Amino acid sequence: MIRRGAAAPARVPADPGLADLAPDRRLRRLELTVTRRLDGLLHGQHRGLLPGPGSEPAGSREYRPGEDEVRRMDWAVTARTTVPHVREVDADRELTTWLLVDASPSMEYGTAELDKRELAVAAVAAVGFLTAGAGNRLGAQVLGPTRLRRFPPRSGRTHLLGLLRTLLTAPRTGGHDERNPPPDGPDLTDGLAAVHRVASRRGLVVVVSDFLDGLPDDPRHAPPWEAPLRRLAVRHQVLAVEVTDPRELELPDVGLITLADPETGRRREVWTGDPRLRERYAVAAAAQRDQVRQALRRSGAAHLPLRTDRDWGADIVRHVHAQRRLAAAPARASRGGAA
């Protein structure tokens, strides 16, 4: 089984990426990219999670004498069915979004234009800009190598830009080996538990990670973060953004290389010219990703995979369109049944 953070040699970027630009220029580029590619898909508009008085239609149901107000009568459906129906609406409520951002050493790896941490920042920017709106608030828990840093939920562009600037300028944790291993810090399970404690109000929880933390060798066993993620999904809408790099999925034929695990500092020399080794690597990596995918599905979280070598904006657009179709299906079925 491939361990977390196992990697090929460090990338040599041909074109300037986020890491090669000043923080303010990086943030401006992110904001323009998000606005240009994703404007109009979410843009801070959301439907209340709890039914109640509001303005968003949510279908119709049969009238209950003594419980429903006559002024909510849906006369069109009543006329078609000859059975009294009342309108249901969703409450318009302010949205509180909590982010759990994995900034552990394994997220510093990348062989494409962006590394995994930079892609995580791009995902945070997309969530932040798209959920921005009057009264909406954004909070974050950043899972660093030594501690869990909390950003209380606040609204406004200044708060979001400050969070993004902190993520972009966080120091790297290089220089560790087996004799000088990285310090022990909180893991993904700790981060999810922290979000569960502070997210007292129903809302949106977005987890950005590679989800390799504590994966068991036996795929029949659940990873330790699955149970706390499932608890969050009971109360909140949860989006799991999985960040990967192509070299974590296949090993190129580049001769003798040294693989380093940034989580433990362990190193191992590997001869990549062996085709059987590369095949075993690819099979193990695919099984590992399937293990993560199944755990996220069992937890009830929506799954958005992003790769450092792909157009992350297009991937988010496709995900939003798919989620909108799924959300619209029950409403269409309800209207068809009422008709």
- The dihedrals phi and psi of 34, each to the nearest 5 degrees, come to -65, -45
Q: How far apart are CA 9 and CA 322, in angstroms?
A: 36
Q: How far apart are CA 147 and CA 12, in angstroms?
A: 30
Q: For 315, which DSSP code?
A: H
Q: Where in the chain is the domain with CATH 3.40.50.410?
A: 18-46+94-332
Mean pLDDT on 204-213: 92
Cβ(77)–Cβ(165) below 8 Å = no
Name the H helices within the chain: 23-38, 75-81, 116-131, 157-169, 188-198, 226-235, 275-299, 312-338
Mean pLDDT on 198-214: 89
Q: How far apart are CA 116 and CA 172, in angstroms?
A: 13
Q: How far apart are CA 154 and CA 322, in angstroms?
A: 29
3-state secondary structure of 22: coil
Mean pLDDT on 119-135: 83
Cβ(121)–Cβ(170) below 8 Å = no
- Token look-up 């129903």 returns 202
Label residues 193-217 b or e (16+ Cβ within 10 Å = b). Answer: bbbbeebeeebbbbbbbbbbbebee
* 3-state secondary structure labels for all residues of 136-188: CEEEEEEECCCCEEEEEEECCHHHHHHHHHHHHHCCCCCCCCCCCCCCCCCCH
Which one has a higher pLDDT value, 199 or 23?
Answer: 199
Residue 10 pLDDT greater than 60, yes or no: no
Name the H helices within 39-156: 75-81, 116-131
Name the token pair of 311. 């157009």
Mean pLDDT on 42-56: 40
Q: What is the pLDDT of residue 193?
A: 95
Residue 104 pLDDT greater than 70, yes or no: yes
185 band by pLDDT with thresholds 50, 70 and 90: confident
Mean pLDDT on 103-132: 85
- What is the amino acid identity at position 101? V
Q: What integer best gives the mean pLDDT of the chain? A: 77
Q: What is the pLDDT of residue 147?
A: 86
Sequence-distant (6+) residues with CB within 8 A of 4 are: 106, 210, 212, 213, 215, 261, 263
How many other CB atoms sit within 10 Å of the CB of residue 85? 22
Q: What is the pLDDT of residue 304?
A: 93
Superfamily of chain region 18-46+94-332: von Willebrand factor, type A domain (3.40.50.410)
202 band by pLDDT with thresholds 50, 70 and 90: confident
Cβ(106)–Cβ(145) below 8 Å = no
86 band by pLDDT with thresholds 50, 70 and 90: confident
167 band by pLDDT with thresholds 50, 70 and 90: confident
